[in-house]
Structure 1
C-alpha cells in the first residue's frame, strides 16, 4: 500500500480536523491547543539533546507560566492530557473511516483473493471438502485492556461515520460532545458489566460481519444455501462471566446471568430481522409463518416463556415451512431473505456466543484436598498426599460420588462446585453449544486434567458431561516442553480416552502466548509453542485424535499479537490445522473487531490463513533440520539472556518502584485484580501478563517484545551463521513473521524518555542493560531485513505508529516527569500519582494493542 494514500486519507485529514478543537467553546481549550505543540517541540528537542523529563517540563513552565506557582503547572498538564486523549480518539476515528482505502480488503488474506488462487490452481473441490470441517473461533475475553468507556466508544463510532461522509457539521458537533465527555470510569466494572459491554460488539458488529463473510463465500464457491453443512465455520467465544481464573468476583450466578443476557441479545437481533423480513414477505401462507416466528421469539423474550421457542431448531422449523411455501407457491420470490436468516440462526443459535469456564489448576488441587478431607474416611488425605501421580489419578477416577452437602466445604470451594451447576444450567437454557469447555489454567500434569474431568463426571448429568471438553492450558516454557508427555499419559487412561472418542476424537489444547513470553522471553516462548504444537499433533495423531489448538493471545506482539495471518499461514503440515481459535481482548476487540469493516477484514485474514496452510502447504513451510537447529540456537541464546535479566536483583523492584505497574489496578477498566497473589511484596510468578507487558509499554521500553533478539542474532553471526539466518528469514514465513512482530515492539519504543535513569544510583546499570539490548536488536533486525528499516513490509503500520507516537509524546514526557518527581521525593505525592495514572490512558489508547 502506498504511503501517499495513507497520507491523503489519514495524516492530512487528521491535521485538518484536529484544528477544529481550537474553536470549541470551552474555557482554556484554545490556550491548551496552542500550548500543546510547544510541549511537543520541547520534548522532541529536549530528549534529542539529552535533557530529562523534569528539565523539559521545567523549561515549559518557565516559558509559559513564568514564576506562577506549581499548582498552575499541574492544572495545565492535566488539561494537556485531556486534550491529547481526544486527539487520539479523533485519529482512531479517521483511521477507522479510511479502513477500506488504506487496507486492500480484497487483497492478500481476503476470501476473494483465496478463491481466486483456488480457481487458478484447480483446488475448488479440495476447498469445499475442507470447509465442511474447518472453523475459526474468535474468543472475546474480559481482560482489562479497553481504556475507552462505552459512551466514548459510541462517539468514536458516530465520528467515524461522519468522517466517512465528510459531514463537517456532525464532526464539529461530536467533537463538541467529546470535549465534555469523561474518558475514565469512576468505578470498576463488574464481570457482568464487562459482558454487557462485549454484547454491544456481538449485536452491532459480529452479528453483521460473520454472516456477510459466509454469504459471499457460499456464492463464490457456488454452493446452494440449503446444502451448507458447516455453521461453525466462523463463531465467537465468550469469557466474561465464565473466566474464574484469578477473578474473585465471578460467581455461578453471574455465569447464568451473562448466559441469559447473551440469549436475550440474540433473540432481540432475530426479532428485528423478522420484523424486517415480514415487511417484504407479504405473501399468502408465508406471512402467517413469519408472523408466527416473530410472535414466538417475542414471547421467548418478553412474554409468556412457555409460549415462546425453546430452542433454535423450533424457530428453524417454522422458517423452513415458510421457505417451502415460498418456493412452491410463489416462485421462490425473495427466498434469499429467508435462506440468509436461517443461516444466521444456525450460526448463532440461542446462545449467540460460546461461553468458556476457566479456573487455575492450583484451585482444583485445593478443592480436592477439601473434598477428600470430608470423606467418611478422612485418613485418605494423608495417604493421598504421599501417592505417586498415577495412583492419585486412579484414586480420583475410582470415586463414584463426593459428599453432596456442599456447605461442609470452604466457601470458595462451594462456589467452584456451583460452577458445574451453572455450566449445566447454561446448557439447559441456551443449548449444548452454549457452554461446552472447561479450561484449566497453569496445567502442569495429567492429574490436573483428571481433577476437572472427574469433578465434571460426578457433578454433571450424563448429557452435560458427554458434551463437555476438558481443555488443558499450557503456558510456561517447562509446561510447553512437557505437554505432549502429559497428553500421552491422558490418552492412555481408558476413561479419558473413551470421553475423547465420544467427542468425535477431538481434543482441544490451549497454549498461552502471554504467560509464555513473560516466563521465557519473546523468541523462546514463540519457538516453544511452535515445537509444542508439533509434538502435540504427533502424539495425538498416534492415538487417532485430532487436536484443536486454542491460542491465548493478547494485543501486542509480546503477548502473541501482531500479524496473525502470516503466523497461521506459516505453520505447515506438522501442526494440526482443523481449526483456528484465538483470544481477542479489550483494546484489540475495539481496534481490530470494533467495526463491521475491520471485523470482517480480520476474520477473513484468519479464515484464509488457516485454509491457506492446508491448501497451499509447500516444502518451504516445513522447516528443515538445519533451520530448526538455527531456531533452537536463537531461542536458547535469547532465553538465557532473558533469564539473566529476569533474575537481576533490580528486576521486580524496577517494575514496582519505577514503572506505572502498580497503577494498573486503579484504572477502573477491569474487574479482576492485577495479580493472582495476595497483596504485599510483588512476586513475579503471581504477576498477570497484562500489567507486566503494559508497564513496559508505558515506559516505552517494550522489553517482552524484543529482549534477547539482538543478542541471539548477533551471537549466531559471530559464529559464522549470519548468512544462514538471513536465508532463514528470506525463506521461512514463520521466522519472518516472528521477527516482523518484534520490529513492531521496537518501533513503539522510545528510550530517550527514560535515559535519565542511566545515571540513577539504584537503577542505572539495569537501564543500561535494557538500552544495550534495544540498540543491538534494532541494529540486527535492520540488518537482517537488508537495511530496509523496521516495518518496511508494513508501510501502513509504520506510518500509523509514527503519527501516534508523535501525538502521545507530551504524555510520555508528563508521565516520566511525574515518576521522576516521586522518586526524588515530593510533598504532594497524590498530584504526581494522578498525573501518572491519567497519562496512562492516552498512551495505551494510542498504541491500540499496548497490553
Structure 2
C-alpha cells in the first residue's frame, strides 16, 4: 500500500475521489434554484481568469452575471451568491471527509515518528531499556480548548464522521444519501452556544475518538515496549478548558464548571459501562460472572443517575478488575486477557475524571478581585491584612500573601467577580471530591506579569480552606514579549519564597509554566514570538534546575503558524537539551481538533508523533538541536530585526483602521460560533490590546494576507542579503532544526496568501500605500525564503501538504471573491447620501456567511 510515493497516494485517494464525489454532489437538487451546481464551476472559472487578468472582485462577479444570466435583478444575484456559499461550504466538508478517509493510506502509520519506528530505532541502537526508562516519566498532555476557530455545528461533524466511514467502505448509496443530507443541513447557528454547549460538543471527541485512540497507543507501549508489564506512568493525559476557562469569557459560572465536571464523569462511566457489557458477553465463566455483573450495575446506575452515588473508589474499581484478571490467568488459560487489560488501562488513564478541567483567569481580574477581598475583610474587622496593605512594597506584600490562611465565607462579598473567582477555587475542591484529584488540579493565570500575580492566587486558595495544602498546580501564563523576558526573574522570586517552595514540594517539585504563542505573535511578530519563547524556556530551565525544580512547559498553541501551530511535532523534536522536556503539554483548538484528532487514525498518528518527538529529543539527540554561540547570535539578530519591522508596521496609523474597514474583523462576533466575545473589553472603540488573537489572525487569513505568519521575516532575511552575509543564514537553516521548522511554518502562511484577491486595494486613496507595505513584505519574505531553502516553490519539501492547501484554496476561491464583492458593496452603500439599510444588512450577512467555509478550509494549518 505504501510503496507508491506519498503524493501519488494522495492524488489517487483524495484528489481523484473528490472529483468523482463532487460531481455527484453538484447534480443533487437541494433548492428551488436549479442549475446552482451547474453554474458554480462556471463562476469558479470566471474568478480564476478574472484574477489572472487583474480584475477586482466586483468586476469578476458582474462579468459572471453578464455572461451567464439574462438581466438578473439585484435580488436574483444575491440569491444565487448565497446558494454558491452554501454549496462551497459543503464542498469543504466533502473534502474533509475524503481526506480523513484516506488518512491511513496517505500517511504511513508505521513510518517515521510513529511508536513502531521509535521502538525499531531503539532496538537497533540497543536503547530499549533507555526507552522504557524514559517512558516511565515522560508524558504528553493534549488540552482541548473551546477557542472558536471551528464553524461546524455538531450535526455537520456527525455527517463528516459518517461520510468518512462510507467513503472508506466505498458505499455509493450511503454516500449519495449523506451528500443529500449535507445539502439540507444548516451550518449557521442562530444563537451563540453557551460554554456548557461548547463543552458537550468537545466531549464528543473524548468519547468517540480519544477514549479509543489513547488507550490503543498505551496498549501498544505496554505490550511492545514494556513486554506486558504494568506501567505506573499514565504517559498520555487529557486536559479540558470549556467550562473552566474564565479568561475573557464572562459567561462561565461556577455552576457551569461543576456541571461540565459532572458531564465528564458521566461520559467516562458510560464508556466503561459499554466496554464492561461487551466483556460480560465473553467472560461467561465461574468466579467472574458475579463480579462483572456488580461492576456493570454500578456503572450503569451512576452514569444514568449520578445522585445515587453508589460508586466505589477508583482504587477499589481497579482492584476488582485486577481480581477478574487474576481469575482469568489462574483458572481460564488467560482467555480474553487483552480485553480486560484494555479496560484496566483505560481506568488507569481516565479515572473518574476523563479529562482534567483547567481553571483560567486573567491576572488583571485577580488584582481587582484581591483588592476587593482585602477591603471587605478589613471592613469586617479581620486582621489578615494590615490597613496599609495596598501601599506596601512588593516584598512586604509577598510575605503577607505567603502566610495568609482561612476558610472565608464567600457570601460576605457583594462584588460578583469576587464570588465568581472564589467560587471557582471552591469548585476545584468539590470536583476533586467527586472526580478525584485529577478532575481539576490546575489554575492558570493569564497575562501573568509579576510574582504577586501568582502569590495572590496562592493566597486565594489558602483563604478558601486549602490552608497551605493546595492540591492544585498554580500555572503562570507568559505571553507578550516583555512578559516572556521577565518570566525567569518572576520564577526566581517564587522559588526563593519558602511558603511557595513548600507548596512545590507537595507537588513533586514540579512547576508548570504556560507560554502562549497567540498574543506573543500579535504583540511581537512571528520570529520574535517564537524566539522569545525558545529563550524563555532556556532561561526558565536553567533557573528551575538551579533550585531543584523540574519545570514543565505548557504551550498555548493555535492552528495556524501565526498562533504557534504548523508542524507541531517537528517543533518539539527540534528542541535541544537546554530545554526541559519531561512533558509535552499543548492546547489544541477549533479545526485543529477535527483535523489532527478527528478520527481514530489521525488521532493515534498525531499522539504517536508527539510521543516520538519527546522520545527522539531525549534518546536520539541530534547535533542540529544544539545552537552554537554564533548561531544564537544570528537567530537573536533576526528576531530583533523582524520585531522592529513588525512593531513599526503595527504602529502605522492605518493599521487598526485597515483591519476595521477593509477586513472581516468586526464580522467575527456575528458568527455565533463561540460563547465568548470577540474582544476583551466592552468599549465601542477598537483597541489593539483588546483584540483577541483568533479574530486578529483570522481576519488576515480571510484577506488572504496572513500577515502574522510572515511579517518581518523578509525584512530580517534581507538585512543579511544586503550585507552580503546570506551564507550565515544558509548555515543556520541547515544546522538548526528549530530555525528550519520556523521557516517551514512561515512557508505555509505564505502558501495560503493570495494578494490578487485584494490587489484593488492598492488604488484605494486611504489604504493603498498601506496595502503596498504588506505586499512588499510578502514578496520579500517569499523570495528570500525560497533562496534560503533552495526551493523552486514554497513547501517544496512537503508536497502532500502543499497539494491539500492548493485544492482547499481552489475550492474557496469563489467564496473569497463573493466575500470581497460584498465588502466592496458595503463600502459603496455606506458612501451614499441615503444608504439602503436593508441592502446593507444583506451584504453584511453575505460577509459573515462566507467566513465559515474559508475558516473550515484552513484545517490543514497544523
Residue 42 of structure 2: which of 35, 38, 57 is its match?
38
Q: Is the 8 A contact 1:367 1:413 kept in 2?
A: yes
Corresponding residue of 1:375: 377
Q: After superposition, where does 1:691-706 map in structure 2 within 5 Å?
A: 691-706=695-710
In the TM superposition, what is the alpha-carbon distance from 1:751 to its structure 2 partner? Answer: 0.6
- Out of 36, 47, 56, the residue aligned to residue 60 of structure 2 is 56
Asked if 1:829 is matched to 2:835, the reply is: no
Residue 273 (structure 2) aligns with: 271
Query: Secondary structure of the residue that 1:439 maps to in structure 2?
Result: strand
**Residues 170-212 of structure 1, C-alpha deviation per residue, up to 9 Å, x if partnerless?**
1101011011101111211100001100111001000000010
Give me the whole-angstrom Cα distance separating, in 1, the residues matched to 2:696 and 2:306: 50
Tell me the residue number matched to 2:493.
Answer: 489
Q: Secondary structure at the match of 1:467?
A: coil
What's the counterpart of residue 802 of structure 1? 806
Pair 1:41–1:313, CA change in 2 (3 A):
same
- For 1:29 and 1:606, how far apart are their aligned partners in 2? 48
What is the 5 A alignment of 1:108-127? Answer: 108-127=112-131
Alignment partner of 1:311 out of 310, 313, 329: 313
Does the 8 Å contact 2:668/2:695 carry over to 1? yes
Change (3 A) 1:381 1:758: farther
Where does 1:373-522 land on structure 2 (aligned, <5 Å)? 373-376=375-378, 383-401=388-406, 404-461=409-466, 465-522=469-526
Matches within 5 A, 1:196-235: 196-225=200-229, 227-231=230-234, 233-235=235-237
- Closer, same or farther: CA 403–304 of 1 in aligned 2, 3 Å: closer
Matched, 1:846 2:850: no
CA RMSD of aligned residues (A): 1.6
Quote how far apart the aligned CAs of 1:399 are. 2.8
The structural deviation recorded for 1:407 is 3.8
Aligned equivalent of 1:724: 728
Cα displacement string for residues 400-453 of structure 1 (whole angstroms, at most 9, x for unaligned residues): 338535343311211111111111111010000111100000000100000001
Aligned equivalents of 1:554, 1:846: Cα separation in 2: 15
- CA-CA distance at 1:382 after TM superposition: 7.6
Distance in 2, Cα, partners of 1:622 & 1:304: 53
Mapped pair 1:640 → 2:644: yes
Q: Is the 8 A contact 1:252 1:415 kept in 2?
A: yes
Question: Residue by residue, what CA displacement relative to the aligned partner does 1:771-797 show, whole Å, maximum 9, x if unpaired?
Answer: 000011111111111033211111111
Please tell me whether residue 164 in structure 1 is matched to residue 163 in structure 2: no
Quick check: 1:667 aligned with 2:671?
yes
Aligned to 2:334: 332
Sort the Cα spacing of 1:849 and 1:243 in 2 relative to 1 into closer, same or farther, 3 A.
farther
Offset of 1:168 from its aligned partner?
0.7
Query: What is the match of residue 618 of structure 2?
Result: 614
Contact 2:219-2:345 at 8 Å conserved across structures:
no
Mapped partners of 1:105, 1:159: distance in 2: 22
Task: State which of 3, 11, 18 in structure 2 corresponds to 1:14.
Answer: 18
For residues 704 and 143 of structure 2, what CA distance do their matches in structure 1 show? Answer: 29
How far 1:316 sits from its partner (Å)?
Answer: 1.1
Query: Cα distance, 1:100 vs. partner?
Result: 0.9
Find the counterpart in structure 1 of residue 582 from structure 2: 578
- In 1, Cα distance between the equivalents of 2:845 and 2:861? 20
Distance 2:656 2:767 in 1: 11
Q: Which residue of 2 aligns with 1:766?
A: 770
Residue by residue over 1:652-704, the C-alpha shift from the partner in whole angstroms, topping out at 9 and shown as x without a partner, is 11111111111111111110011111131011111110000011001101000
Matches for 1:527-538 after TM superposition, within 5 Å: 527-538=531-542
2:264–2:353 Cα contact (<8 Å) kept:
yes
Paired position in structure 2 for 1:194: 198
Which residue does 1:649 correspond to in 2? Answer: 653
In structure 2, relative to structure 1, the CA distance for the partners of 1:724 and 1:73 (3 Å cut) is same
Q: What is residue 180 of structure 1 aligned with on the other side?
A: 184
Residues in 2 aligned to 1:307 and 1:775: alpha-carbon distance in whole angstroms: 64
User: Which of residues 300, 303, 314 in structure 2 aligns to 1:301?
Assistant: 303
Cα deviations by residue, 1:492-539 (Å, 9 ceiling, x for unpaired): 100001111111100000000111101000000000000000000000
1:593-648 per-position Cα deviation (integer Å, ceiling 9, x unaligned): 11110001111110100111111123321100100011011111100000000001
Is contact 2:461-2:467 (8 Å) kept? Answer: no
Deviation track 1:312-354 (CA, whole Å, cap 9, x = no partner) reads 2221111111111222222222222111211110110000001
For 1:702 and 1:385, how far apart are their aligned partners in 2?
Answer: 44
Over residues 240-268 of structure 1, what are the superposed CA-to-partner deviations in whole Å (9 max), with x where a residue is unaligned? 11000010110110000000000000000
Deviation string 1:712-760 (CA, Å, 9 cap, x unpaired) is 1111122232111111111211111100000000101111100111011
Alignment partner of 1:235: what SS?
strand
Helix, strand or coil for the counterpart of 1:246? coil
Aligned to 2:147: 143
Q: Give how far 1:305 is off.
A: 5.3
TM-score normalised to the size of structure 1?
0.98
Distance 1:21 1:498, change over 3 A: same
- Partner residue of 1:812 out of 806, 811, 816: 816
Taking structure 2 as the reference length, the TM-score comes to 0.96
Shift of 1:68: 2.3
2:553 counterpart SS class: strand
- Aligned residue for 1:466, secondary structure, equals coil
Show the counterpart of 1:363. 365
> Quick one: which of 257, 260, 273 aligns to 1:258?
260
Structure 1: 5+ residue stretches without partners: none
Q: 2:742 aligns with which of 738, 762, 779?
A: 738
C-alpha distance after superposition, 1:528-555 (max 9, x if no partner): 0000000000000000000000000001
Partners of 1:142 and 1:585 within 8 A in 2? yes
The alpha-carbon deviation at position 385 of structure 1 amounts to 3.2
Does the CA-based 8 Å contact 2:266-2:306 persist in structure 1? Answer: no
Cα distance in 2 between the residues matched to 1:60 and 1:716 = 47
Greater CA deviation, 821-830 or 21-30? 21-30
Q: Give, in whole Å, the separation in 2 of the partners of 1:400 and 1:355.
A: 25
Q: Which moved more, 1:300-309 or 1:732-741?
A: 300-309
Once the two structures are TM-superposed, the CA of residue 28 in structure 1 deviates from its matched residue by 5.0
CA distance in 2, matches of 1:250, 1:303: 25
What SS does structure 2 have at the residue aligned with 1:713? helix
Distance in 1, matches of 2:298 and 2:38, equals: 59
Partner of residue 833, structure 2: none
**Larger CA deviation: 432-441 vs 819-828:** 819-828
For residues 673 and 661 of structure 2, the distance between their equivalents in structure 1, rounded to whole angstroms, comes to 22
**In the superposition, relative to structure 1, how do residues 403 and 258 fare at CA in structure 2: closer, same or farther (>3 Å)?**
closer
Cα distance, 1:825 vs. partner? Answer: 2.5
Deviation at 1:2, TM superposition (A): 3.4
2:286 — aligned with what?
Answer: 284
Which of 614, 630, 634 is equivalent to 1:626? 630
Q: Helix, strand or coil: the match of 2:511? A: strand
Structure 2: unaligned runs, 5 residues or longer: 831-835
| Conserved 8 A contact 1:441-1:474 | yes
Question: How far, CA to CA, are the matches of 2:545 and 2:151 in structure 1?
Answer: 43
* Secondary structure at the counterpart of residue 376 of structure 1: helix
Q: Which residue of 2 aligns with 1:775?
A: 779
Aligned to 1:133, what secondary structure does the other structure show?
coil
Post-superposition shift, 1:7? 1.1
Secondary structure at the residue paired with 1:283?
coil
Secondary structure at the residue paired with 2:794?
A: coil
**Structure 2 CA distance for aligned equivalents of residues 730 and 632 of structure 1:** 17
